[in-house]
Structure 1
Amino acid sequence: MQTETILLIIAAFIISLIVSLYQYLYKAKSTTKKSVFFAFLRFLSVFAILLLLINPSFRKKTFFTEKPKLVVAIDNSSSIAYLKQEQQVVSFVERIKNSKEINDRFDINYYSFSDNLKDSLRLSFDQKQTNISRTLEDLSQIYKSSTAPTILVTDGNQTYGKDYQYSSSRYKQQVYPVIVGDTITVTDTKIAQLNVNRYAYLKNKFPVEAILTYSGDQSVSSRFQVSLGNAVVFSQNITFTEEENSKVLNFTLPATQVGVVQYNARLIPLENEKNKVNNAKAFAVEVIDQKTNVLLISDMVHPDLGAIKKSVESNERRSITIQRTSEVKNIDDYQLIILYQPNSRFRGVYEKISTARKNYLTIVGSKTDWVFLNKTQNKYYQEITRQTEYYIPRFNPNYSTFLFDDIGYEGYPPLIGNFGEIRISSNHDVLLYRAIGNIQTEEPLLATIEEDGIREAILLGEGFWRWRAQNFLDTKNFESFDDFFSKLIQYLATNKPKSRLNTISESFYYGNANIKIKAEYFTKNYEFDNRGSLQISLKNKDTEETQTIPMLLKNNLYEVDLSNLKAGNYDFTVTVSGENISRSGSFTVLEYNVEQQFLNAHVTKLKQVATNTKGKSYFIGQNEKLIQDLIQDQRYQPIQKSKENVVSLIDWKYLLVIIILLLGIEWFARKYNGLI
């Protein structure tokens, strides 16, 4: 308490004493017990009121004990059930929960994990993927500022993600892997991986890479074959030894029919082989009979050209050719023309595009001849200022021509464009607006135009190669930007009429992947309608089983998750309640459960994780030893902490009650004695 406050309290004490003595004892004929009692009551009430006005503060220190945290993360993937270890895992968790010693020592937090981390213990052991590396990363963020040794109950078999054996070295907590599953190595051959392109072209051959592995100490022979229906289309004898325990086969298969073609790869199991599930694997290829050819015309060299080429060819169903204006002879073989910074030398190109009625994308920048461009077409007009400006993109969430997501455009570097007003006179839809610094405008930066059956897009700025680079810095890949450009190319390369209902799906899905069907629904003005009631009717063509599921609204599309579907061929129809609109499609689910490809626990990796994090590994039956080691480990000690709170007297509500009580007693006593 400050000296000034103490002096004020002393002054309040003196003032209260003077007031009470003056009112009841000063000039009194005689001093009685009643007058002394009244003076005492008045002294207390005045002193309490003055204390409230002074409002002194007090420091209150409390002590408490903080136990170290203990994280228990349980593998909830289906490999635990496949290895028949679910009961042992549940028993282990119950033992931890019921251990008084460990609960007294630690503050325990339970998690389950598969492809991601969940803060619950709803163990079903039916999840299709395992990502241990991501689990450790998530826990690292949650407990980055506290002591939290981690018990990791798993078989160590990861189906995707970074190699946790090495990424665990960045985990700051001690990890105690509890190894689940059989640790005895048995003879086993398996198809470890099949690498194949998703698409192939009719009458071409597509490459396939098969990685085959063997565990055992004897020399064995088997046969690898690929079949299409009942016909074997590829076959090769394989020999493994203890030293040569893996084979990589590279071969090609012919694409002879259009559509989704399903193949079955099989490595003939050995006679004494225990796990035969991992000896077979299905894969599929979608055979298409044409390729989208894109022509990029430019009379200058610019990094944007490389970004366009990379983005277009990221989809193997598209190819791009780059030519100068003087090299352009025939454009009939191309489905889309891209004009980069046109000038007067593009006059013949525009005439060819007009004659052939081709869709095209125009990209303008600081070297664009706007005098020529304003004269050669009448869809848009740029004010001539001969000055440039940096334009920041701003996403238009109401863009309705086709489905687009905001991939973080406003965080992307600005484009260099021509300063001045831009007017678009044709029917258009703006995807990106211009922003200059903090000033947001309604002028377009990227817009699509559709007129007289011809589709065109115009990008009013150069330097978008930096967007692709920024996308890599943000996400460690180019997928978001390439997907953005791919959708634009897809729209411009086709002349399909607008539809109020569109569906988005793949032609086939692997059994371990998320199966999601999406739909976009528009009003009659082709604005996205979030009021629609959409449902999907699903039919299994093999069993004739049907079901109808409502689709949920997520952002600017409707979606349904069908990840629990069994392998088979399916037809679907999406309908809108109250509207005579529907869209149909089909897809195939290939039978594959990656979690059933493992026969043993991955002991080596889990022991390395324990070494990397200064922990210790245990087997599932060593729960008592684990509990005792944790309790006796001197690194995990309860910590006594103190917390100091500053409390003001005005916050103490009882003082007001005391004041009212004192004044009330004084009033009633005076009234009783006839002094009022």
Structure 2
Amino acid sequence: MSTQSILLIILAGIIALLLALFQYKYKTKSALKDNALFILLRFITYFGVFLLLINPKFEYNSNYSVKPNLVIAVDNTQSISYLKQQDNAKSILSFLQNNSDLNEKFNIEIYSFSDQIQVLDALEFSKKQTNISTVFRDLNELYKNTVAPTIIITDGNQTLGNDYQYKANQYNQDIYPIILGDTVTYSDLKISQLNVNRYAYLKNKFPLEAILVYNGNDAVVRDFTITQNGKLLFKKQLSFSKEKTSEIINISLPTSTIGVQTFQAQIAPISTEKNKTNNLKNFAIEVIDQKQKIAIVSTVLHPDLGVIKKSIETNEQREVVFLKPNEVLNQLNDIQLVMLYQPNNSFKQLFSALEEQNKNKWVISGLKTDWRFLNSISKNYNLEITSQTEDYQASLNQNYNNFIVDDIDFESFPPLKSNFGTPNFNAPYQTILFKTVSGINTNQPLLATIDVNQRREAILFGENIWKWRAQNYLNSQQFTDFDNFIGKIVQYLASNKRKNRLLIDYKSFYNASDNITINAQFFNKNYEFDANANLTISIKNKESNALINRPLILKNNSYQVDLNGLDAGDYAFTIASSDNISSSGNFQIIAYNVEEQFLNADVTKLQQIATNNNGKAYFVIQKNELLQDLLSNNKYLPILKTNKTTIPLIDWYYLLFIIALSLASEWFIRKYKGLI
């Protein structure tokens, strides 16, 4: 309680006593005994009321101790079982988890990880990808303000994500790796990397780069071959030795048939090799007839232009060219889509040519857009002309039904700069993204598409979309989601396919180690997204004729089915709704297990992250040494914390009861004495 409150309470007591004496001593002539009782009761009443007005606050402290966290992260991928370390992983986890001394000193929290980290449910060692970097990234967010030494039980072999040694250096906790796997070095010859484009063009050649690595002391000579359906396409004899440990092969292979083409690359194994799985690698390309050409037309320089080009060209089926308005006129026949960036009066002839040839287009406006010109030439929309600008963030329209739009956390993206004003449309349109200002949805389109008279058009009301791609990387450590979003818009605008109530989104082929999912959207007769649809997928293996039926699960604004676990092969599938609307497709799964490419644990890197993070690396047989190091380390001691609690007197309801009792007692005594 503060000094001011104490002084006010003393003053309140004096005033309450003086008021009680004034009323029962000065103004009345009753007996002294009765006056003393009445003075006391009236003093209590006045003093209680004054205390409520002053409302002093009482503080008290309670002490408690908090144990440090001991974080255990266990590798739950197939490489652990392939190296026959699953029993060791389970035994060391059980040893740590059930040790009474550790539980007394630490608050033990256990996670498993593969391509992502999660609270441990069960160890099955069946996950297909390892991303150790995400372990340190996510745990750093969870434990950045605490003491949390971290034990990571793994072979140290990563197949996905950023270099985990870099992420470990940013992790502000001590790291204790427990190394799973054989440390003995064996002679091994493998295909370390196979680089090939996803798409190739008919009657053309596609490049392939193979990186072959040898680990051993003896000189060996082996053949490297590439075959397709048993037919030999390429063969080269390679020599390796202790001094020459790698070879890079660059070749070009022909294409003759449209569709998915599968190949097999192989380096003949050494007879003494322990792991022969990594000597062979299957790969595929999709052969297409021609490349889509997209023109970006602009008279201004802006970072958006480079970002849009990069996003579109992540799909190798597409090529982007930059042109001036007068340059594109003679090339329209070779262009599938024209993107007009911040058009002005110099675009007049181009707009007329697009109208005459019934070409699709995408208009992106910004602060340098001439809206007087655009309003005069556009038949489908216009914007109120003002001199003001505004920053608009994006909010996804869940009912957009021209193609599947994944929510890539648009609301976290930076705002786009745009002219202030309300857009008006003169043709049927659909909004992909709404404008939001200060978190309030304006229900005005930020990005919309128009489909009229077999011609498609999109309009984006804002510049600085380059910031969205950067934010997408910050959110997910990759550009893929944003690039796919731009790619879907381009794919929609570059074609004139009829609208379908059932839309499906899938790839033509997957590697067996990929996350294999198929997405679908279903719309009712009014083309509104139906969140209560009953969709099922029927999958047929073309070789064995085996049938698999699975339901699709609603996830965000689309339906999804997880097909992980399917064997390699060719598949045909049909997705159907309960009212017999269906859509079909084909895909191929290429046999390849990236988790089976390793022969040893990555001891060097695990020891390095331990050294850099004030920890130490251990093998499974050193579990008792690890236990003693954790228990004897004085850095990991309980933290004494004080909880300060402040209670205002007004919350103390007993005081109100005392005031009421005092007033009631005074009234009854006065009534009994006949003084009322």
In the TM superposition, what whole-angstrom CA distance separates every residue of 1:72-117 from its partner, at most 9, and x where no partner exists?
2211111111111111221112222332222222222222212211
Written as runs of structure 1 = structure 2, the 5 A alignment for 1:250-265 is 250-265=250-265
Task: For 1:280, give the aligned amino acid.
Answer: L
Shift of 1:584: 0.6
Q: Name the stretch that deviates more: 520-529 or 427-436.
A: 427-436
Task: For 2:173, give the aligned amino acid.
Answer: Q
CA distance in 2, matches of 1:352, 1:252: 40
Written as runs of structure 1 = structure 2, the 5 A alignment for 1:141-540 is 141-298=141-298, 305-324=305-324, 325=326, 328-329=329-330, 331-340=332-341, 346=347, 348-363=349-364, 378-381=379-382, 387=387, 389-390=389-390, 392=392, 394-395=394-395, 397=397, 398-405=399-406, 407=408, 408=410, 411-417=413-419, 422-433=423-434, 444-460=445-461, 464=465, 478-540=479-541
- Distance verdict in 2 for CA 1:315–1:550, change over 3 Å: same
Find the counterpart in structure 2 of residue 82 from structure 1: 82
Shift of 1:195: 1.0
8 Å CA contact retained: 1:393, 1:432: no
Asked whether 1:622 is paired with 2:622, we answer: yes
8 Å CA contact retained: 2:45, 2:662: no
CA distance in 2, matches of 1:420, 1:660: 63
- Distance verdict in 2 for CA 1:564–1:48, change over 3 Å: farther
Find the counterpart in structure 1 of residue 633 from structure 2: 633
Find the counterpart in structure 2 of residue 670 from structure 1: none
Find the counterpart in structure 2 of residue 570 from structure 1: 571
In the TM superposition, what whole-angstrom CA distance separates every residue of 1:298-337 from its partner, at most 9, and x where no partner exists?
5666655544443433322112344442663353232223
CA distance in 2, matches of 1:101, 1:326: 77
In the TM superposition, what whole-angstrom CA distance separates every residue of 1:312-370 from its partner, at most 9, and x where no partner exists?
33322112344442663353232223345556665554454344332233445666666
- Distance verdict in 2 for CA 1:68–1:344, change over 3 Å: closer
RMSD: 4.3
- Distance verdict in 2 for CA 1:449–1:13, change over 3 Å: closer
Shift of 1:156: 1.0
CA distance in 2, matches of 1:638, 1:413: 45
8 Å CA contact retained: 1:500, 1:522: yes
Is the partner of 1:580 in helix, strand or coil? coil
Q: Name the stretch that deviates more: 244-253 or 318-327.
A: 318-327
- Distance verdict in 2 for CA 1:433–1:214, change over 3 Å: same
CA distance in 1, matches of 2:509, 2:164: 30
Percent identity of equivalent pairs: 45
Is the partner of 2:167 in helix, strand or coil? helix
Task: For 1:623, give the aligned amino acid.
Answer: K
Find the counterpart in structure 2 of residue 114 from structure 1: 114
CA distance in 1, matches of 2:467, 2:168: 34
> Unaligned stretches of 5+ in structure 2?
664-676
CA distance in 2, matches of 1:505, 1:179: 38
Is the partner of 2:532 in helix, strand or coil? coil
Shift of 1:496: 0.6
Is the partner of 1:519 in helix, strand or coil? strand
Is the partner of 1:332 in helix, strand or coil? helix
- Distance verdict in 2 for CA 1:485–1:244, change over 3 Å: same
- Distance verdict in 2 for CA 1:56–1:599, change over 3 Å: same
Aligned length: 664
Q: Name the stretch that deviates more: 305-314 or 508-517.
A: 305-314
Q: Name the stretch that deviates more: 491-500 or 632-641.
A: 632-641
In the TM superposition, what whole-angstrom CA distance separates every residue of 1:217-258 from its partner, at most 9, and x where no partner exists?
222222211110111111111222122212221111111111
Shift of 1:583: 0.2
In the TM superposition, what whole-angstrom CA distance separates every residue of 1:36-68 from its partner, at most 9, and x where no partner exists?
xx99x999x999989996987654333333322
8 Å CA contact retained: 2:365, 2:418: no
Task: For 1:231, give the aligned amino acid.
Answer: K
Shift of 1:606: 0.8
CA distance in 1, matches of 2:464, 2:640: 59
> Unaligned stretches of 5+ in structure 1?
31-37, 664-676
Is the partner of 2:271 in helix, strand or coil? coil
Find the counterpart in structure 2 of residue 671 from structure 1: none
In the TM superposition, what whole-angstrom CA distance separates every residue of 1:585-616 from its partner, at most 9, and x where no partner exists?
11111111111111111111111111101111
Q: Name the stretch that deviates more: 102-111 or 419-428.
A: 419-428
CA distance in 1, matches of 2:561, 2:569: 18
CA distance in 2, matches of 1:130, 1:496: 40
Shift of 1:650: 7.4
Shift of 1:168: 1.7
8 Å CA contact retained: 1:395, 1:406: no
CA distance in 2, matches of 1:286, 1:352: 34
8 Å CA contact retained: 1:366, 1:388: no
Written as runs of structure 1 = structure 2, the 5 A alignment for 1:45-84 is 58-84=58-84
- Distance verdict in 2 for CA 1:9–1:80, change over 3 Å: farther
CA distance in 2, matches of 1:423, 1:279: 62
Shift of 1:12: 12
Q: Name the stretch that deviates more: 349-358 or 249-258.
A: 349-358
Task: For 1:401, give the aligned amino acid.
Answer: N
Task: For 2:91, give the aligned amino acid.
Answer: S
CA distance in 2, matches of 1:149, 1:65: 18
Find the counterpart in structure 1 of residue 138 from structure 2: 138
Q: Name the stretch that deviates more: 305-314 or 554-563.
A: 305-314
Find the counterpart in structure 2 of residue 34 from structure 1: none
Is the partner of 1:331 in helix, strand or coil? helix
- Distance verdict in 2 for CA 1:12–1:448, change over 3 Å: same
Q: Name the stretch that deviates more: 296-305 or 196-205.
A: 296-305
Task: For 1:551, give the aligned amino acid.
Answer: L
CA distance in 2, matches of 1:659, 1:369: 76
8 Å CA contact retained: 1:199, 1:288: yes
Task: For 1:581, give the aligned amino acid.
Answer: I
Q: Name the stretch that deviates more: 3-12 or 297-306.
A: 3-12
CA distance in 2, matches of 1:285, 1:557: 28
CA distance in 2, matches of 1:60, 1:305: 62
CA distance in 1, matches of 2:117, 2:331: 56
8 Å CA contact retained: 2:413, 2:467: no
